[in-house]
């Protein structure tokens, strides 16, 4: 048994979706294994993003990823929550001064996957097939690599999107593989998309656990479940996105792998929403440094113009 903070309760905030609950259960499992005797109270929170799911409005048009995190961050500030669990790809890259990412948990599959109504692969979908995604990154890559598809916005949690495909509203939808795996829905997958075909979002597949900046007890608790490899690769990816200044409303993709113990290999993409313009950069280095360096290279290669057009 490790020494450290007293074994007392912590309150863990999460969204109400089945996926969020599953992800939070995993974090609680890791914490309780690291700190025997620790009691974790899970407190579900409804976010603005959850309240807009039924509207079908494209996420970037109504505020982006922050819609799913603001209420949880406020719960940390108010003291009602000690921790908040997120899919790291959903967290804005700029941390508020009073909230920090105390742990990045071991990373699951970072790929995307296709769920199609008739089991078709991405290459096998007919021209004109309607494919749903709420991500500009996915939409742009679909336009680039399958220009004949009819890509439309789709909202809702994982099971809702899959249901919409089965009911015929869409021929297919592209989803994060990690979410499918966490929910045990592997049988729904028509194709696991390699990163070479669909580069993931920065941080995809990793869980980020927020806490109050300066909360020494909670930071020590979280240090025990922080995964160095996941921290390094996602730091690189998020540094790339942050340095681009694109935010969640830009078609930006990034994926890093560890090289030895000190460096990562990072691939980044910036695409126009129609997929006709693609800036690709690649390199190795210290996590944050290579992310920022490749962002500068991408901007110099035309990403600045793409991002300016997206911002309008």
Domain residue limits, the chain: 9-104+206-226, 112-193, 237-311
Please report the pLDDT score of residue 62 as a whole number: 42
Listed as ranges, residues in the chain with pLDDT below 50 are 1, 6, 51-52, 55, 59, 61-63
Separation CA 120–CA 223 (nearest Å):
43
Please report the pLDDT score of residue 49 as a whole number: 54
Are domains 9-104+206-226 and 112-193 of this chain identical in fold? yes
Topology (CATH) of 9-104+206-226: D-Maltodextrin-Binding Protein; domain 2 (3.40.190)
Using an 8 Å Cβ cutoff, are 114 and 172 in contact? Answer: yes
List Cβ neighbours of 289 (8 Å cut-off, separation of 6 or more).
none
Q: Which of 50, 82, 90, 98 is catalytic?
A: 90
Please report the pLDDT score of residue 312 as a whole number: 76
Predicted structure pTM score: 0.90
Please report the pLDDT score of residue 1 as a whole number: 47
Superfamily (CATH H level) for 112-193: Periplasmic binding protein-like II (3.40.190.10)
Instruction: Please state which CATH class domain 237-311 belongs to.
Output: alpha beta
- 109 carries an active-site annotation: no
């Amino acid at each position: 048994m490790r020494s450290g903070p007293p074994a007392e309760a912590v309150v863990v905030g999460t969204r109400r979706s089945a996926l969020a609950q599953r992800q939070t259960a995993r974090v609680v499992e890791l914490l309780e294994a690291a700190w025997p005797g620790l009691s974790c109270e899970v407190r579900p929170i409804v976010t603005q993003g959850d309240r807009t799911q039924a509207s079908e409005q494209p996420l970037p048009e109504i505020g982006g990823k922050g819609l799913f995190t603001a209420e949880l961050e406020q719960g940390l500030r108010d003291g009602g929550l000690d921790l908040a669990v997120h899919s790291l790809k959903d967290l804005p890259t700029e941390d508020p001064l009073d909230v920090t990412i105390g742990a990045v948990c071991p990373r699951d599959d970072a790929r995307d996957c296709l769920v199609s109504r008739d089991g078709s692969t991405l290459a096998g979908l007919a021209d004109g097939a309607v494919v749903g995604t709420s991500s500009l990154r996915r939409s742009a890559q679909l336009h680039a690599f399958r220009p004949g598809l009819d890509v439309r916005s789709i909202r809702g949690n994982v099971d809702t999107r899959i249901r919409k495909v089965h009911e015929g509203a869409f021929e297919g939808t592209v989803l994060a593989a990690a979410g499918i795996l966490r929910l045990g829905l592997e049988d729904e997958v028509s194709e696991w998309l390699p990163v070479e075909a669909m580069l993931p979002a920065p941080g995809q597949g990793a869980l980020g656990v927020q806490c109050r900046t300066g909360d020494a007890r909670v930071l020590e608790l979280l240090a025990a479940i922080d995964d160095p490899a996941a921290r390094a690769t996602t730091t690189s990816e998020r540094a790339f996105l942050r340095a681009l200044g694109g935010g969640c409303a830009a078609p930006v993709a990034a994926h890093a792998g560890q090289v030895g113990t000190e460096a990562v290999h990072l691939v980044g993409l910036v695409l126009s929403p129609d997929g006709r313009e693609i800036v690709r950069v690649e390199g190795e280095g210290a996590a944050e440094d290579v992310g920022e360096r490749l962002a500068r290279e991408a901007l110099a290669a035309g990403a600045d113009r793409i991002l300016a057009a997206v911002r309008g």
